[in-house]
Amino acid sequence: VIEGLFNMNAGSAINVKFSQNFHLTGMIKSNDKVYANLQTVVIECTNYNKVKLFISKRINDDKSIKYVGRIIGRTAEDGFEIKGEPLAGNSSLTKINLKEMIVE
């Protein structure tokens, strides 16, 4: 599911079911390969009041792949962090407090 997002272009519509209770619809805003081993996709989610999903794929030296991500809304005080290994089916969403992360 997640791997396919990294092959899509900006402007592509998405409808992704992460689990039985969690799916996102929206549009890919950007898909950037930052380094040879790091790529980040930003999705604007239309079914969650235009929150943004930032998800990155890192290829480690041993060729294993690690995914990390955050769901953040401009008007929200909290967001969610994706933890675990989504490809192995054992990922979870952890609530984060954005006020603690942002220094003004």
Digit-coded pLDDT (tens) for 59-104: 999 998 888 888 877 766 666 666 666 555 566 667 667 666 555 5
* Segments of the chain assigned E as strands: 13-19, 22-35, 38-45, 51-59, 65-72, 78-85, 90-97
Residues 91 and 84: beta-carbon distance below 8 Å? yes
| Annotated domain spans of the chain | 2-101
Kindly tell me if the per-residue pLDDT of 47 is higher than 90.
Answer: no
The answer to whether 37 and 59 have CB atoms below 8 angstroms apart is yes
pLDDT in tens, 15-35: 988 777 778 899 999 999 999
DSSP state letters, 51-75? EEEEEEEEE-TTS-EEEEEEEE-TT
Say what the pLDDT of residue 4 is.
87
Residue 65 has a pLDDT of: 86
- What's this model's pTM, rounded to 2 decimal places? 0.77
